[in-house]
Amino acid sequence: MTAPSASPPPLCSPQLGRPSAAPAEPGERRRLLAGEHHDPHAVLGAHAVPGGVALRVLRPGALSVTVLLDSLWAELHDDGDGFFSALLPLRNVPEYRLLVAYEDSVLETDDPYRFLPALGELDLHLIGEGRHEQLWRALGAHPMTHAGADGTRFTVWAPNARGVRVCGDFCHWDGTAHPMRSLGSTGVWELFVPGIDPGTLYKFDITRPDGTHTVRADPMARRTEVPPATASVVTASESGYVWHDEEWLAHRGDVPVHEAPFSVYEVHLPSWRVGLTYRQLAEQLPGYVKDLGFTHVELMPVAEHPFGGSWGYQVTGFYAPTARLGTPDDFKYLVDALHQAGVGVLMDWVPAHFPRDEWALAEFDGRPLYEPADPLRAAHPDWGTLEFDYGRREVRNFLVANAVYWCEEFHIDGLRVDAVASMLYLDYSREYGQWRPNEHGGNENPDAVAFLQEMNATVYRRCPGAITIAEESTAWDGVTRPTDHGGLGFGLKWNMGWMHDSLVYASKDPVHRRYHHNEMTFSMVYAYSENYVLPISHDEVVHGKRSLVSKMPGDWWQQRANHRAYLGFMWSHPGKQLLFMGQEFAQGDEWSQAHGPDWWLLDPGYGAAADHRGVRDLVRDLNALYLRTPALWQCDTRPAGFRWVLCDGADDNVFAFLRFDAAGTPLLAVSNFSPVVRHHYRLDVPDDVPAWDEVLNTDAAPYGGSDVRNTGPVTSGTGPGHGIRLTLPPLATLWLRPVTESPTAGSR
């Protein structure tokens, strides 16, 4: 909308003469004022009628409205209640603009009701089919030039609404003048509003089936206000951001993820360094992660959410990066910086549920829409939220397109899908009588299965090199099996069983660990049933669970030694690794989203800084050696890549196994989870390896250990079956490689 540069023209054109009024019918006026009209364009705007062209305008609060026709003009009749009309003595509907006079301003603008729909038939067809894989390009707010006018197209899916109006800061949040039209049976409402630029705040004023009104944020908004404000923000359809990660994207999928090194640093963005924006994080986070040798970061939270304490797991803006840290382009800058540093970017994605906030998705148009109509299926019992209706094609499309959106628009390399188990089971966290079986009488949710299969298949087809990871805590069969073989189609799955069992073992005093030995070995019973990630995530270091080092028994030296030995065991165990921030330097306190990691523990002025720096140095060396040792990742999903050397050393708290790369080259990993040194400890190793070099020792002095070492090559005894004899440091993990390989700088 623009204000004229000169005084308003005369109120009547001598060429047109004095136009007579052509008011709207009373019923039409009532429906428009109530926000209940499904086709306002049939009433408002210019229409050929007997005797000329009827022009009707709805502008509440206006003192006058004048129609401008090239050099001609005519004042419209004030019909009351904000309606203005005229019957113009013209044969055809002309091009025209409006001059609207208010008490303190005069605005010249195009009439929104002179335009045909700005959304194409193909878009509507795909939306109706639930197959619009770039849904964000069709729905939402899109600045554009339409029929020669600059403005914004607003579209929203609200099939149960009696009417929808768009409102915002451009109209003092009164949507009366901007009713939208319904585009047939798709349930989509549309309005092109001239003069609306990027940065404008807006919402949708929806008339429910019962006639009441609700004002909602745009489900497809690609930018939002900073919480606790809740308005959506008009964003340019095509970002001006210029990417510099072509090399990364071209090669990220060269090796399948289950055959590649994959070591993940999990980051809560608002608290990693409290107060930093996306762009400030881009100056610090990539270098830190690269220095420690992690191949990927996993970011939380990304999508917009109203309550920071939810860590992003109660999403209201599924298509909007959280505005707390900057704009969508700022988030792209962070992803780009990580890629240029050679670090992949995963994000937590939450399609399992959404909060009940009255301005968001819950009963969006007055009836259950995104959630199932059955309240027993809709309510999520654990978090007080609502589950999605995965059986409704438009809802499924909303979520599948959202997964594609993050990968295509923000170059995200992978989605860690939260709470998959709660989606798969109808009786998840529900007691008898609180759930309804499926049509076959079972507890599986077939709609959720179909959604997850469609999502995975679509992401892998459209986004080469991207991966999906399931946080799935049950024994559901085929989570990482391809969809064409009946699986869910994920690339990787979090191994929650390994995480739980191994932490139970590690938390026990060494004198009691012999009774829990199977907690550390049981994971190998099912290790090849799925493609696994071993997660020590944020969930394990909050809410009274204590930080990783604080879970360990003993005094401070023993806690750190246990911590280091555990990490060595974890990095050598089949499966990929994930470690939450702060655990890489043995932070003692639980994580708090209010203040983040205790970086001061690494300050040289702090007396115990060397203890924490030593653990971080170990993580750096674990990653460096891991990356250079294909035996630790190349055959992660093949039984031939693993062999127990000692799985029954319960009395000694000792575990030993071999890892093999595709060529058969081994790495020997030995963990001693007792606090005593074990001299001349015999292990049966392959006869064809005459000698081994210790390449990593978590008890090394630079890491804060007692520096009990195996110096020089460790040789096998004479004759077959004699094995080797090692010195096992207390509470430590060793890695050894055949001496035929070149020495590595990974050991200290």
What are the DSSP calls for 410-425, one per residue? Answer: S---EEEETTHHHHHB
Residues 514-530: tens digit of each pLDDT: 999 999 999 999 999 99
DSSP code at position 483? G
Strand partners, 206: 164, 214
**Is it the case that residue 4 has pLDDT exceeding 50?**
no
**Is it the case that residue 461 has pLDDT exceeding 60?**
yes
**Is it the case that residue 121 has pLDDT exceeding 60?**
yes
Residues 291-303: tens digit of each pLDDT: 999 999 999 999 9
Q: Which of 514, 596, 498, 617 is nearest to 547 (CA)?
A: 596
Task: Round to whole Å and give the CA distance between 587 and 273.
Answer: 15
- Using DSSP's 3-state secondary structure scheme, residue 359 falls into coil
Q: Region 310-329: what's the mean pLDDT? A: 95
Determine the pLDDT at residue 44. 98
Q: Which of 488, 370, 484 is nearest to 421 (CA)?
A: 488
Q: Output the average pLDDT for the chain.
A: 94
Exposure string over 53-71, b if 16+ CB within 10 A, otherwise e: bbbbbbbeebebbbbbbee
Determine the pLDDT at residue 443. 94
Determine the pLDDT at residue 381. 86
Q: Which of 578, 567, 583 is nearest to 622 (CA)?
A: 567
Determine the pLDDT at residue 704. 97
The three-state (H, E, C) secondary structure of 528-577, written as one string: CCCCEEEEECHHHHCCCCCCHHHHCCCCHHHHHHHHHHHHHHHHHCCCEE
Residues 187-209: tens digit of each pLDDT: 999 999 999 999 999 999 999 99
Task: Round to whole Å and give the CA distance between 464 and 144.
Answer: 30
* Helix, strand, coil abundance in the chain, percent, nearest 5: 30, 25, 45
Q: Region 314-325: what's the mean pLDDT? A: 97
Q: Region 344-353: what's the mean pLDDT? A: 97
User: Which residues are known to be catalytic?
Assistant: 418, 471
Whether 76 and 66 have beta carbons less than 8 Å apart is answered as yes
- Using DSSP's 3-state secondary structure scheme, residue 206 falls into strand
Determine the pLDDT at residue 383. 86
Tokens 């049933």 belong to residue = 529
Whether 143 and 199 have beta carbons less than 8 Å apart is answered as no
User: pLDDT: is 398 or 434 the higher one?
Assistant: 398
Residues 77-105: tens digit of each pLDDT: 999 999 999 999 999 999 999 999 999 99
Task: Round to whole Å and give the CA distance between 458 and 446.
Answer: 18
Determine the pLDDT at residue 312. 87
Task: Round to whole Å and give the CA distance between 277 and 678.
Answer: 50
Task: Round to whole Å and give the CA distance between 522 and 520.
Answer: 6
Q: Region 96-115: what's the mean pLDDT? A: 95
Exposure string over 166-195, b if 16+ CB within 10 A, otherwise e: bbbebbeeebbbbbbbbbeebbbbbbbbbb
Determine the pLDDT at residue 6. 39
Determine the pLDDT at residue 68. 95
Residue 241: pLDDT band (50, 70, 90) is very high
Tell me the CA distances in angstroms from 141 to 78, 130, 218, 599, one per residue in order. Answer: 32, 20, 8, 42
Least confident of 68-72, 537-541, 624-628: 68-72
**Is it the case that residue 60 has pLDDT exceeding 90?**
yes
Distance of CA 328 to the CA centre of its chain: 13
Tokens 């429910």 belong to residue = 208
Task: Round to whole Å and give the CA distance between 345 and 336.
Answer: 9
Residues 20-38: tens digit of each pLDDT: 788 999 999 999 999 999 9
Q: What are phi and psi of 137, to 5 degrees?
A: -85, -15
Determine the pLDDT at residue 721. 58
Strand partners, 45: 56
Percentage above 70 pLDDT, the chain = 96
**Is it the case that residue 562 has pLDDT exceeding 80?**
yes
Determine the pLDDT at residue 745. 38
Determine the pLDDT at residue 718. 59
**Is it the case that residue 742 has pLDDT exceeding 50?**
no
Calculated CA dihedral for residues 590, 595, 598, 599, nearest 10 degrees: 150
**Is it the case that residue 440 has pLDDT exceeding 70?**
yes
**Is it the case that residue 741 has pLDDT exceeding 90?**
no
Exposure string over 699-722, b if 16+ CB within 10 A, otherwise e: bbeebbbeebbbeeebebeeeeee
* Other CB atoms within 10 Å distance of the CB of residue 730: 20
| Length reported for the chain | 748
Omega of the bond leading into 219 within 30 degrees of 0 (cis): no
Residues 695-724: tens digit of each pLDDT: 999 999 999 999 999 998 999 875 555 789
Residues 209-240: tens digit of each pLDDT: 999 999 999 999 999 999 999 999 999 988 88
Tell me the CA distances in angstroms from 694 to 574, 615, 633, 747, one per residue in order. Answer: 20, 19, 19, 8
**Is it the case that residue 16 has pLDDT exceeding 70?**
no
Residue 740: pLDDT band (50, 70, 90) is confident
Determine the pLDDT at residue 3. 45
**Is it the case that residue 2 has pLDDT exceeding 50?**
no
Tokens 């001349």 belong to residue = 680
